[in-house]
């Protein structure tokens, strides 16, 4: 008995609903499926149908959860599924995580003893990175980012940026870091406020993993916020549709209403030498004290 072949469109649609761990096992079933799993359109379609993944850092550990909003049953207790926890490859004990950084679904983690490990929350795979630099006790001053230099979507060549700032506290480097097409973006500062004893964020720093160079990018102009009183600006950096950057700013002026703004870049962030911004949203709270 010969099993009839399914139309290629239907076969591709069925495979797009297969969980990522099973897709990995099916790669070697046939050459056609292996080529399909590397196709960018299939990957995008697969991600749209897949359950939403979330990574949570809690109590020095990292967990992964799955949120399935595509089911037919309206039962919230079945929507959330625990999918994994980052463990040690050697003895399966918990790994004490200090900081986490992400890029293209991979998570780069620094441990309390200053080691590096890359974790794929979808497949559960981990890989410990052997650093060329000697292990020291300055973990709190070290920052790491994960990116890639080549733009070949079928096979990324990942790189790790690691640097240490001995002369400034870690708050100088912005806590928000974003990955956009293999490059890292984060908030930074070279302005110190002696009154508050804090660095004030005044630019975005980009590291290009292709050229392996740092680039300083502009924040939105704040000339219209030069009112009387002390202004404490809080910035949150984010990526929009994998092509533009967005900024949330909260300006606190004592004895004045709370101002909240959302800015968005006018062009794709990876195609320009510097950024130009447009105000996308403005909110003014009259009940702030």
Give me the residue spans of the domains in the chain: 171-289
Has residue 279 got a pLDDT over 80?
yes
Query: In angstroms, what CA-CA distances link 195 with 18, 50, 127, 198, 201?
Result: 57, 50, 44, 8, 15
CB 179 within 8 A of CB 146: yes
Contact 247, 240 (CB under 8 A): no
Distance CA 149, CA 157 (A): 6
Span 231-252, average pLDDT: 79
Q: Is the pLDDT of residue 146 over 80?
A: yes
Residue 77 corresponds to which tokens in the numbers above?
């207790």
- Per-residue pLDDT tens over the stretch 11-67: 777 777 776 667 767 777 778 777 777 777 777 776 666 656 666 666 666 666 555
Q: Rounded mean pLDDT of the chain?
A: 71
- Higher-pLDDT residue of 66 and 169 is 66
From the number of C-beta atoms within 10 Å of its C-beta (0-12, 13-18, 19+), residue 201 rates as buried
In this structure, of 64-73, 141-150, 266-275, the range with the lowest mean pLDDT score is 64-73
Average pLDDT estimate for 242-256: 77
Percentage above 90 pLDDT, the chain? 0
Q: How confident is the model at residue 115 (pLDDT cuts 50, 70, 90)?
A: confident
Give residue 99's pLDDT: 78
In the predicted structure, residue 89 carries a pLDDT above the cut 60: no
Six-digit token string for 126: 């981990």
* Counts of helices then strands in the chain (DSSP H, E): 4, 19
H or E stretch including 162? strand 158-164
pLDDT > 50? residue 111: yes
**Average pLDDT, integer, range 83-95:** 53
CA distance 279 to 55: 31
In the predicted model, what is the mean pLDDT of residues 244-256?
76
More confident residue, 214 or 178: 214
pLDDT at position 190 is 78
3-state secondary structure of 59: coil
**What's the confidence (pLDDT) of residue 70?**
53
Q: Record the pTM.
A: 0.65
Output the CA–CA distances (angstroms, integers) from residue 253 to 5, 209, 229, 257, in the order listed.
68, 39, 6, 7
pLDDT over 70 percentage in the chain:
60
Which of the four pLDDT bands, split at 50, 70 and 90, describes residue 196? low
DSSP 92: -
Residues ≥6 apart with Cβ < 8 Å to 230: 195, 253, 254
Q: Are the beta carbons of 253 and 227 closer than 8 angstroms? A: yes
pLDDT per position as a tens digit, 206-240? 898 888 889 888 888 765 444 444 455 678 888 88
């Amino acid at each position: 008995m010969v099993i009839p072949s399914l139309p290629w469109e239907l076969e591709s649609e069925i495979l797009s609903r297969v969980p990522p761990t099973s897709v990995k096992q099916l790669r070697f079933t046939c050459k056609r499926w292996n080529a399909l799993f590397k196709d960018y359109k299939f990957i995008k379609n697969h991600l749209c149908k897949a359950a939403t993944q979330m990574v949570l850092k809690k109590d020095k550990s990292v967990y992964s959860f799955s949120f399935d909003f595509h089911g037919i049953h309206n039962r919230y207790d079945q929507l959330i599924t625990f999918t994994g926890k980052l463990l040690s490859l050697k003895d399966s004990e918990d790994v004490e995580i200090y900081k986490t950084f992400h890029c293209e679904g991979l998570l780069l983690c620094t441990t309390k003893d200053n080691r590096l490990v890359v974790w794929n929350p979808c497949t559960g795979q981990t890989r410990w990175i052997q650093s060329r630099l000697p292990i020291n006790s300055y973990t709190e001053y070290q920052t790491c980012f994960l990116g890639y230099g080549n733009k070949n979507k079928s096979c990324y060549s990942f790189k790790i940026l690691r640097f240490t700032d001995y002369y400034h506290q870690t708050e100088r480097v912005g806590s928000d870091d974003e990955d956009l097409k293999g490059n890292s973006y984060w908030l930074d500062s070279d302005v110190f406020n002696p009154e508050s004893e804090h660095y004030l964020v005044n630019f975005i720093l980009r590291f290009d993993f292709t050229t392996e160079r740092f680039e300083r990018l502009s924040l939105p102009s704040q000339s219209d916020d030069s009112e009387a009183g002390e202004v404490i600006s809080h910035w949150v950096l984010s990526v929009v549709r994998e092509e533009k950057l967005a900024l949330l700013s909260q300006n606190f002026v004592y004895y004045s209403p709370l101002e909240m703004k959302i800015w968005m870049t006018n062009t794709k962030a990876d195609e320009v030498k510097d950024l130009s911004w447009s105000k996308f949203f403005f909110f003014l709270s009259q009940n702030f004290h």
